[in-house]
């Protein structure tokens, strides 16, 4: 079925097997090799995988997990999912002009995301002209001129939106934000707005900098590691190697997750005999199956016990923090009935975990999307900070705060100024370096961009990577909003759904990826990236590019900039394109911590950016201290007959790119439209395991019913009252206005849903019509414009 990628897959082939306890092992290696050879062949597989994550090689395009120091890297310094990401990009398949001639945009819209991605690398710049049904080839010069003309014809630069996905290099990100600001807008939404934005906001307020305060060495030397809202076995697999080392050094691990994810339970490291033929390493010493969204209550309960036991670092509290007394007072008043009902955990389970915190002199707190994508996410992350402060777990070896970032360079992109709310000091530095005054008002983030498009305030969208319409919430609203634009432009490696939701004029600009050799006028180039521990280093693509018509991201952005701005402000775009060193020179003068960038980034292993709390317990907050923040316990209320749905990743996808249909650890093979529900909830709602259902959401502010159809119920071990299903099939259910307080991150992990037998509620759901097509259910529906969204 899947070997013949000309055909789409059939959800009827779905098979449900057993949930697995151990992650990785030799199966992981076998899958990695199979996918690599299938897509790249032997030579490209060898050329790429041997260079992956090596000091002189290229950075893994998948997640942002750090690499060991150069002297400590293995020959195979990657995981199964890193290899899959490389195979997807290094593939020998091509989406060439014949492909785009063969299928109309309407036909392509019927295909699944899996099928679209499997068509391979895009080889030529393509355009859809007004009224056309197909994409056709276009010259680069004409494409740049067309985009320049469209941008110059806007009434205001505020009508343009410049989105970034976190795979772009530092060099590309820097020229991109420079271009947007030289044009006159801060409309620089990025995938971070949907990801760790809650983290950035909370950490900024609590410790004065929005990044992790730990290095890999701290993970190795922690006494206790708390893994909260994260599935490392799938999404940061080499983290398991670091956790294994920490355990060897005596660390304990607590996993806080509604699901018993395989990597949290056991890890079979294929690089050790124990992992190949032995039992592997048990990762979590304690698993707390917290109810979805119960974390804030849980953390406050921990705080209350630590205060009660006086398990506190009074020197740290006195010397470095503000607000302790108010916080202690607040957590002393924790209502255990509320805690138990919000967390679904017993007081005994919570106390056991708190005892582990009490005993540890060095704790690392890790978290990811299970924490950031809730309404109370920012408060929850500040609560993690409170706990760290209470025991002095910041700015010392083996301890600290570790948000684990997603996209491989999402953190670097922010450092380079991809931020709709860049600090004034950054804008001042741009002004000083380039001699123009960049706009000072905040731009649109992702959710506000969608509102602007929907309301006719934006007319132009440029995406530097990513798959905006699939990644964003409220798929029908986002799709409708995007189709209203005059011009949509995507700088992409492979076809995706966003290319099919076209403005009147639409362009696809194919780019070199991380694995491709990049040669410019001055010779071969490298780029730089930053991982989740603030470590910045160089990356050099090893593979022959898939087509001679591709340009690098830097070349595309500078080409657009020249065609749009001419020589406005005297910015030398050509010099930056010809030699990326010239970009890095600007970076060294504009971006804090990047002085001597060229020299530092060329060192094997690169360098680590300054982080005042980590380096010297200095806190650049308003008070100059680490801030204890008191938050009321807010928990999403789920009405009877409903479930709280979290949307997550399978083991066989990278965000919206579906690699295949094997969510091996959860026992799901051959399909993706499943909803995981507790056995007793299945019965209580009047269903049987295996029933087909449609999912519905209502959102207070508007009457529109959101639906996602045709999901199979799968009985699963998760807390009562919660449910889980894959992203992006369920994004249609997430209301645009349902976002986290302060960060505006969509609440992808707490969607209140009801279930109905498939096909039975059509009449009450005006937006469900038409035939069902895998992966594109929304494309057949014309949802009425929501009336009450603001
Ligand atoms: N192979 C692969 N790697 C990836 C990605 C990918 O798609 N594929 N995506 C990358 C990106 S951009 C990101 S941001 C990261 C994402 O990495 P993760 O954050 O690990 O991704 P999710 O699959 O969203 O998983 C969230 C986890 O949180 C748990 N969870 C959900 N709700 C709650 C809750 O209320 N409380 C708690 N405590 N836990 C909860 C879920 O059960 C799940 O285990 O991975 C990056 N790496
Ligand atoms: N329901 C739900 N929705 C979510 C989430 C969730 O947990 N649940 N998670 C959110 C999160 S954490 C994130 S980060 C976003 C992700 O949102 P995005 O970053 O927008 O999405 P991706 O799927 O990572 O983007 C994939 C596309 O990027 C392009 N691409 C790949 N490599 C390159 C490259 O090197 N250069 C360029 N220019 N293009 C490239 C390819 O064409 C590919 O189709 O989704 C968010 N959406
Ligand atoms: S852990 Fe992440 S960065 Fe490392 S090889 Fe795996 S996917 Fe790539
Ligand atoms: Mo992400």
- Which CATH class name applies to 197-403? alpha beta
Give the ligand 2 atom nearest the CA of 657: 23
Q: How does residue 425 score in pLDDT terms, banded at 50, 70 and 90?
A: very high
- Which CATH class name applies to 643-757? mainly beta
Kind and range of the H or E run holding 556: helix 553-565
Query: How high is the pLDDT of residue 786?
Result: 26
Pocket test for ligand 2, best of 166, 552, 655 (most atoms within 8 A of CB): 655
Residue nearest to atom 8 of ligand 3 (CA): 82
Does pLDDT of 227 surpass 60?
yes
pLDDT tens track for 128-137:
999 999 999 9
Query: How high is the pLDDT of residue 762?
Result: 56
Q: Going by C-beta distance under 8 Å and a sequence separation of 6 or more, which residues neighbour residue 639? A: 752
- Out of 67-76, 226-235, 299-308, 336-345, pick the least confident: 67-76
Give yes or no for a cis peptide into 539 (omega within 30° of 0). Answer: no
Does pLDDT of 330 surpass 70?
yes
Closest to 57 measured CA to CA, from 70, 39, 43: 70
pLDDT tens track for 748-761:
999 999 999 999 86
* Mean pLDDT calculated for residue range 637-660: 96
Q: How does residue 455 score in pLDDT terms, banded at 50, 70 and 90?
A: very high
Q: Which residue has the tokens 């806080």?
A: 256
* Angstrom distance (rounded) from CA 36 to CA 23: 20
The mean pLDDT of the chain is: 93
- Dihedral of alpha carbons 418, 421, 425, 428, sign: positive
Ligand 1 neighbourhood includes 292 CB (under 6 angstroms): yes
Query: How high is the pLDDT of residue 298?
Result: 98
Residue nearest to atom 1 of ligand 3 (CA): 238
- Please tell me the number of the ligand nearest to residue 236's CA: 3
How many whole angstroms from 192 Cα to the centroid of ligand 4? 6
**How is the chain split into domains, by residue range?**
7-90, 94-194+409-603, 197-403, 643-757
Return the higher-pLDDT residue of 232 and 73. 232
- Out of 189-203, 276-290, 482-496, 516-530, pick the least confident: 276-290
Kind and range of the H or E run holding 305: helix 295-308
How many whole angstroms from 315 Cα to the centroid of ligand 1? 36
Which residues have a beta carbon within 5 Å of ligand 4, which is an ion? 195, 406
- Answer yes or no: same fold for 94-194+409-603 and 643-757: no
* Mean pLDDT calculated for residue range 62-91: 94
- Please tell me the number of the ligand nearest to residue 64's CA: 3
Query: How high is the pLDDT of residue 649?
Result: 98
Give the ligand 2 atom nearest the CA of 496: 44
Residue nearest to atom 2 of ligand 3 (CA): 63
Give the ligand 1 atom nearest the CA of 258: 42
Pocket test for ligand 3, best of 53, 62, 263, 406 (most atoms within 8 A of CB): 62
In percent, the amount of the chain with pLDDT more than 90 equals 88
Helix (H, G, I), strand (E, B) or coil at 16: strand
Helix (H, G, I), strand (E, B) or coil at 452: helix
Give the ligand 1 atom nearest the CA of 655: 7
Q: Which two tokens stand for residue 137?
A: 């080839």
Query: How high is the pLDDT of residue 789?
Result: 23
pLDDT tens track for 2-53:
444 556 899 999 999 999 988 988 899 999 999 999 999 999 999 999 999 9
| 293 Cα distance to chain centroid | 19
Gyration radius of the chain's alpha carbons: 25
Q: Which residue has the tokens 């090893």?
A: 542
How many whole angstroms from 467 Cα to the centroid of ligand 2? 5
pLDDT tens track for 570-611:
999 999 999 999 999 999 999 999 999 999 999 999 999 999
Query: How high is the pLDDT of residue 6?
Result: 54
Give the ligand 3 atom nearest the CA of 62: 7
- Please tell me the number of the ligand nearest to residue 289's CA: 1
Give the ligand 1 atom nearest the CA of 407: 12
Ligand 3 neighbourhood includes 514 CB (under 6 angstroms): no
Ligand 1 neighbourhood includes 380 CB (under 6 angstroms): no
* Mean pLDDT calculated for residue range 139-162: 98
Query: How high is the pLDDT of residue 568?
Result: 97
What are the CA-CA distances from residue 284 to residues 224, 259, 265, 266, 582 (Å)?
10, 13, 6, 8, 47
Q: How does residue 788 score in pLDDT terms, banded at 50, 70 and 90?
A: very low
Cα-Cα end-to-end distance for the chain: 45
Which CATH number does the domain 94-194+409-603 belong to among 1.10.1370.30, 1.10.287.3510, 3.40.50.740, 3.40.50.150? Answer: 3.40.50.740
């Amino acid at each position: 079925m899947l070997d013949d990628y000309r055909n789409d897959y059939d959800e009827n082939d779905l098979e449900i097997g057993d949930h697995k306890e151990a992650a990785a092992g030799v199966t992981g290696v076998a899958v990695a090799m199979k996918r690599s050879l299938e897509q790249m062949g032997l030579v490209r597989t060898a050329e790429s995988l041997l260079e992956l994550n090596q000091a002189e090689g290229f950075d893994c395009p998948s997640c942002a997990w750090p690499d060991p120091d150069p002297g400590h890297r293995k020959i195979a310094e990657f995981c199964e999912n890193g290899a899959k990401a490389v195979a997807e990009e290094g593939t020998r398949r091509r989406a060439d002009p014949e492909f785009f001639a063969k299928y109309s945009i309407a036909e392509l819209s019927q295909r699944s995301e899996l099928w679209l991605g499997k068509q391979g690398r895009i080889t030529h710049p393509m355009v859809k002209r007004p009224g056309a049904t197909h994409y056709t080839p276009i010259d680069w010069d004409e494409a740049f001129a067309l985009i320049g003309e469209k941008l110059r014809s806007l009434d205001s630069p505020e009508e343009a939106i410049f989105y970034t996905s976190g795979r772009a290099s530092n060099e590309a990100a820097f020229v991109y934000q420079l271009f947007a600001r030289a044009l006159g807008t801060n409309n620089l939404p990025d995938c971070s707005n949907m990801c760790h934005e809650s983290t950035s906001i909370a950490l900024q307020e609590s410790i004065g900098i929005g990044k992790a305060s730990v290095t890999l060495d701290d993970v190795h030397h922690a006494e206790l590691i708390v893994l909260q809202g994260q599935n490392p076995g799938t999404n940061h697999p080499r983290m398991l190697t670091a956790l294994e080392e920490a355990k060897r050094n005596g660390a304990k691990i607590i996993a806080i997750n509604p699901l018993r994810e395989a990597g949290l339970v056991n890890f079979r490291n294929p690089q050790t005999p124990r992992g190949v033929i032995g039992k592997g390493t048990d990762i979590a010493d304690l698993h707390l199956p917290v109810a979805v969204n119960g974390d804030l209550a849980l953390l406050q309960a921990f705080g209350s016990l630590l205060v009660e036991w006086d398990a506190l670092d009074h020197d740290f509290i006195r010397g470095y923090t503000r607000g302790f007394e108010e916080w202690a007072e607040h957590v002393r008043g924790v209502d255990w009935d509320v805690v138990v009902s919000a967390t679904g955990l017993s007081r005994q389970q919570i106390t056991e975990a708190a005892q582990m915190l009490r005993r540890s002199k060095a704790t690392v707190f890790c978290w990811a999307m299970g924490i950031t994508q809730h309404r109370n996410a920012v408060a929850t992350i500040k609560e993690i900070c409170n706990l760290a402060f209470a025991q002095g777990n910041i700015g010392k070896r083996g301890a600290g705060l570790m948000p684990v970032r997603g996209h491989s360079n999402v953190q670097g992109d922010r450092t380079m100024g991809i931020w709709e709310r860049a600090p004034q000091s950054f804008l001042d530095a741009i002004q000083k370096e380039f001699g123009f005054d960049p706009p000072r008002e905040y731009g649109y983030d992702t959710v506000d961009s969608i509102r602007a498009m929907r309301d006719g305030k934006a007319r132009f969208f440029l995406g530097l990577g990513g798959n905006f319409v699939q990644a964003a919430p409220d798929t029908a609203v986002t799709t409708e909003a995007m189709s209203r634009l005059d011009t949509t432009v995507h700088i992409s490696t492979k076809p995706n759904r966003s290319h099919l939701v076209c403005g009147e004029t639409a362009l696809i600009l194919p780019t070199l990826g991380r694995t491709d050799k990049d040669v410019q006028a001055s010779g071969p180039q490298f780029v730089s990236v930053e991982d989740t521990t603030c470590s910045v280093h160089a990356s050099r693509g090893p593979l022959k590019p898939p087509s001679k018509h591709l340009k690098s991201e830097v070349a595309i952005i500078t080409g657009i900039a020249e065609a749009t701005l001419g020589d406005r402000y005297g910015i030398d775009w050509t010099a930056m394109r010809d030699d990326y060193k010239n970009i890095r020179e600007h970076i060294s003068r504009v971006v804090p911590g990047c002085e001597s960038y060229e020299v530092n980034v060329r060192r094997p292993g690169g360098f680590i950016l300054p982080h005042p709390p980590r380096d010297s317990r200095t806190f650049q907050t308003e008070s100059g201290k680490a801030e204890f923040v008191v938050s009321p316990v807010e928990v999403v209320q789920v009405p009877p007959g409903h479930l709280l749905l979290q949307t997550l990743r399978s083991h066989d996808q990278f965000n919206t790119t579906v690699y295949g249909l094997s969510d091996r650890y959860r026992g799901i093979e051959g399909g993706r439209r499943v909803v995981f529900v507790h056995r007793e909830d299945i019965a209580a709602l009047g269903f049987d395991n295996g029933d087909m259902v449609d999912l519905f959401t209502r959102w207070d502010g508007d009457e529109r019913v959101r639906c996602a159809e045709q999901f199979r119920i799968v009985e699963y071990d998760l807390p009562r009252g919660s449910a889980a299903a894959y992203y992006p099939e369920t994004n249609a259910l997430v209301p645009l206005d349902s976002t986290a307080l302060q960060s505006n991150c969509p609440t992808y992990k707490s969607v209140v849903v009801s279930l109905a037998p498939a096909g039975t509620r059509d009449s009450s759901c005006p937006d469900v019509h038409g035939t069902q097509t895998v992966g594109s259910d929304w494309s057949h529906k014309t949802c009425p414009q929501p009336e009450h969204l603001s």
